Amino acid sequence: MQKQFKWSFEAYNVVIAGDRAEEIDAVRRYNPAVVTLDLGLPPDPANASEGLATLKEIIVLAPRAKVIVVTGNDDRENAIKTIAMGAYDFYQKPVDIDILNLIVSRAFQLAELEQENAKITAKARTAVRYYCCQ
């Protein structure tokens, strides 16, 4: 699936991580706007424990990142749990790359809008302070 992601998302700078340590290292290094996270990470790919722990760390390290959780067909409960933890969205397997691409694209658009809004808000606060203090 990692190779499919790299090929399918060639318009983006794709960084592949195979486990929690690599994922966290990548988040620290690149501070991504959007992350896709499979809950079934090694060393326990049959369960969601590593994926949930990874999500928790990502949210602390990059609270503005839009995390899209990819889950198994029978893992809806954990998918909903990830949204409660702060994930942006979830997508259930099997992966239809066109649909996932749409979700990723929307996540990037939202991240861009939030960044633009933060700049406008900061600029407005500076202008108010400057005006008030003259």
Sketch the domain layout of the chain as residue ranges: 2-109
pLDDT at position 106: 97
pLDDT at position 73: 67
Q: Which long-range contacts (CB under 8 A, 24 or more apart) does 82-89 make?
A: 82/39, 82/52, 82/55, 85/52, 85/55, 85/56, 85/59, 86/55, 86/59, 87/37, 87/55, 88/34
**Which tokens in the block code for residue 78?**
């954990």
23, 30, 45, 70, 117 from 55: Cα distances, Å: 10, 16, 15, 11, 25
pTM of the full structure = 0.86
Strand pairing partners for 37? 69
Q: Would you give the end-to-end CA distance of the chain in angstroms? A: 59
| pLDDT top residue among 93 and 103 | 103
| pLDDT top residue among 9 and 113 | 113
Residue 20 has pLDDT above 60, yes or no: yes
pLDDT at position 128: 56
Q: How far apart are alpha carbons 51 and 55 in whole angstroms? A: 6
| pLDDT top residue among 92 and 127 | 92
Strand pairing partners for 90? 69
Residue 12 has pLDDT above 80, yes or no: yes
CATH number at 2-109:
3.40.50.2300
Q: 27-74 pLDDT, tens per residue?
A: 999 999 999 999 988 888 888 999 999 999 999 999 999 999 998 867
Q: 100-112 pLDDT, tens per residue?
A: 999 999 999 999 9
